[in-house]
Amino acid sequence: MLSRDDVFSELGIGPVWRLRATPASPLTADAPPAYTWDTLTDAVAHCTACKLSATRTQGVLGAGDRNADWLIIGEAPGVEEDAQGEPFVGTAGKLLDAMLASIGLARGDNVYITNVLKSHPPGNRNPEPDEVAACRPYLLAQIELIQPKLILALGRFAAQSLLDTDETVEHLRGRVHAFQGVPLVVTYHPAYLLRKLTDKARAWEDLCLARRTFNSLTPDS
């Protein structure tokens, strides 16, 4: 276990660690079953835990580097994601790629992208509580398997689900949170930014905060 107490004392959050190749899990109360990537992929593909299984084209687990230091979590697959089986492939995905590039990141290169929901909600409606609950074990399993150094939560549903709060993105952004010992930064969802361009400057501030936080963990990065 690699302690970073001094670094995170300065950031104002508790100690953070990253586990690799160890039976001990950083997830506690609602830890998922001991999935492998193969069993998790199969579980999402055949999941019938909520009503979305009846209307989706396919389950969308996620995409990218499965050993990534950066974990990007959005809301739910859209129509294009549902068709292609990969998250953030539409217009919002192009903006996300640009956002990542602005801080020196690229899709699939030390970056893994997923959503809170693994199935497309009809009409791109908001996720419902029972749907979020049904998908939560899959998201926890992904975090357990990836063991990221930093989580970037995109939008209200990702932030509220991970932080167990009803606070808005506006109140959650601008500071470093922690999820099960992993630093977490909240910013706006790219789809929201496409509708409200004036908040792109604030999103840039959040991305810079995420980059600084990550660099404080890995000075040689």
The verdict on residue 1 lying in a domain is: no
The verdict on residue 4 lying in a domain is: no
Among the listed residues 178, 148, 143, 174, the one whose alpha carbon sits nearest the alpha carbon of residue 163: 178
CA distance readout (Å), 36 to 16, 66, 116, 132, 143 = 24, 11, 19, 21, 12
Residue pLDDT, tens place only, 82-116: 999 999 998 999 999 999 999 999 999 999 999 99
The verdict on residue 16 lying in a domain is: no
Residue pLDDT, tens place only, 158-207: 999 999 999 999 999 999 999 999 999 999 999 999 999 999 999 999 99
Whether the predicted pLDDT of 73 surpasses 70: yes
Q: What percent of the chain has pLDDT over 70?
A: 84
Least confident interval from 31-35, 148-152, 209-213: 31-35
Whether the predicted pLDDT of 219 surpasses 80: no
User: Tokens standing for 129?
Assistant: 């509580």
The verdict on residue 60 lying in a domain is: yes
pTM of the model: 0.84
The verdict on residue 14 lying in a domain is: no
The verdict on residue 206 lying in a domain is: yes
The verdict on residue 112 lying in a domain is: yes
The verdict on residue 22 lying in a domain is: no
Domain span at 180: 33-217
Q: Any idea what the CATH number is for the domain that residue 127 is in?
A: 3.40.470.10
10 Å CB burial of residue 218 (0-12, 13-18, 19+) is exposed
Domain count, the chain: 1
